[in-house]
Amino acid sequence: MTTILLNGDPYPIDGQLQLLSLLERLNMRQGRVAVEINREIVPKANYAHTVIKPGDNVEVINFVGGG
């Protein structure tokens, strides 16, 4: 098992992982998050084709509504 950095903390993954799979694991809806991998913003249109590799630094920001 290898790891990535997820929001600054080690997170275990088995080899490569698709971004959409990671969001599902985290119970986050694709339309309500912004993702940055290795300091590059990933466009939502690329989520399904983006692969996270061991050692990547991933930042996931979840937008929450309210007032």
Locate the domains of the chain by residue range: 2-62
Q: pLDDT, tens digit, for every residue of 10-51?
A: 999 998 999 999 999 999 877 789 999 999 999 999 999 999
Q: Sign of dihedral through CA atoms 16, 6, 27, 2?
A: positive
Instruction: Match domain 2-62 to its CATH number in 3.10.20.30, 3.40.718.10, 3.30.200.20, 3.40.50.720.
Output: 3.10.20.30
The pLDDT confidence band at residue 58, using thresholds 50, 70 and 90, is very high
pLDDT at residue 37, as a whole number: 98
Nearest to 52 by CA among 14, 10, 1: 14
pLDDT at residue 50, as a whole number: 97
The pair of three-digit structure tokens given for residue 32, joined into one six-digit string: 């309500």
Residue 64 has pLDDT above 80, yes or no: no
Q: Sign of dihedral through CA atoms 17, 10, 57, 22?
A: positive
Q: What's the whole-model pTM score?
A: 0.89
| Ordered DSSP codes for 32-67 | GEEEEETTEEEPGGGGGG-EE-TT-EEEEEE-----
